[in-house]
Amino acid sequence: GKVTHRSRFLRSDTYNSNMAANRIVVSEMGTMAYPDPSKNFIFKAITFLNHTVPDFTDNAASNIIKYGNDYYATSETNYIRKIDPFTLETQDKVDYMKFLPVNLVSSHPHYDREGNVYNVGTSIAEKGKTKYIFFQIPAVTEKEKDKNTPALKKVKVICTVPCHSLLSPSYYHSFGMTENYIIFIEQPFKLDILKMATAYMRGVNWASCMKFFPEENTLIHLIEKKTGKKVEMKYHTGSLVVYHHVNAFEDDGHVVLDVIAYNDTSLYEMFYMSRLKKDISFQSNGYTKPNYRRFVLPIRSDKGIAVGENMVKLRYTTATAVKQKEGKLTCQAEVLCEGFELPRINYDFNGKKHQFVYGNIVEESVLSTQVAKFDTETKKMVHWSEENCWPSEPVFVPRPNGESEDDGVVLVSVINCIPGQSSFILILDGRNFKEVARANVNTELHRDMHGFFIPHTN
Binding-site residues from annotation for Fe cation: 108, 173, 244, 450
Neighbours of 286 (CB within 10 A): 11
Beta strand 234-237 pairing with 328-332: parallel
CB 415 within 8 A of CB 390: yes
Determine the Cα–Cα distance for residues 187 and 67; give it in Å rounded to an integer. Answer: 27
Q: Are 173 and 76 in contact (CB under 8 A)?
A: yes
| C-alpha span between 59 and 449 (Å, rounded) | 14
Is the CA virtual torsion 176, 73, 151, 100 positive or negative?
positive
**CA-to-CA distance for 225 and 255, rounded, in angstroms?**
13
Long-range contacts of 114-122, Cβ-Cβ distance < 8 Å, separation of 24 or more: 114/139, 115/139, 115/140, 117/65, 117/66, 117/67, 117/151, 118/158, 118/177, 118/182, 118/225, 120/172, 120/175, 120/182, 120/184, 121/78, 121/96, 122/163, 122/169, 122/191
The helix/strand/coil state of 290 is coil
What is the Cα–Cα distance from 360 to 346, expressed in whole angstroms? 16
Q: How far apart are CA 123 and CA 166, in angstroms?
A: 10
CA angle in degrees (0–180, nearest 5) for 162-163-165: 130
| Residues of each annotated binding site | 108, 173, 244, 450
Q: b vs e for 357-378, b when ≥16 Cβ sit within 10 Å of the residue's Cβ? A: bbbbbbebbbebbbbbbbebee
3-state secondary structure of 245: strand
- Measured CA to CA in angstroms, residue 304 lies from 133, 291, 297, 310 at distances of 34, 34, 18, 13
Q: Does residue 193 contact residue 168 with C-beta atoms inside 8 Å?
A: yes
Dihedral Cα 122, 238, 234, 257, nearest 10 deg: 80
The SS3 call for residue 45 is helix
